[in-house]
């Protein structure tokens, strides 16, 4: 049986916690910054505030995870990069195949 690497688990937890706190703070601040410029009595105004705060929170979360060097987040980014449609495996011989 292997042992749990408690120190690395706590370090990864701290990194995610710091990123989540930063994202939450930025999302709340973005709501306050957007509020004076839009009409909050309409659906469109509330939706714009939602999109602005959500997108800024996601960007800050991703940025903090990347800057803190979260292994899980970097692995996720590498997986996404490998799944891009224009990143195909090159085969040495791509000549025309002919029948008999």
Which sequence spans correspond to the domains of the chain? Answer: 9-82
Angstrom CA distances, 71 to 14, 35, 62, 78, stand at 13, 36, 12, 10
Least Cα distance to 20 among 76, 60, 67 occurs for 60
pLDDT of 63 higher than 60: yes
pLDDT tens, residue by residue, 3-52: 788 888 899 999 999 999 999 999 999 999 998 889 889 999 999 999 99
**Cβ within 8 Å of residue 70, ≥6 positions away:** 12, 15, 16, 19
pLDDT tens, residue by residue, 88-97: 666 666 566 6
Angstrom CA distances, 60 to 30, 33, 44, stand at 12, 16, 24
Please give the DSSP secondary-structure letter assigned to residue 36: G
Q: What is the pTM of this model?
A: 0.74
């Amino acid at each position: 049986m292997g042992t749990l690497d408690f120190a690395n688990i706590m370090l990864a937890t701290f990194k995610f916690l710091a990123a989540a706190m930063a994202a939450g703070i930025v999302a709340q601040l973005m709501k306050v910054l957007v509020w004076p410029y839009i009409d909050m009595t309409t659906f469109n105004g509330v939706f714009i505030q939602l999109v602005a705060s959500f997108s800024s929170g996601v960007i800050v979360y991703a940025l903090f995870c990347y800057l803190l060097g979260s292994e899980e987040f970097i692995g996720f980014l590498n997986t996404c990069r490998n799944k891009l449609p224009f990143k195909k495996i090159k085969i040495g011989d791509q000549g025309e195949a002919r029948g008999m």
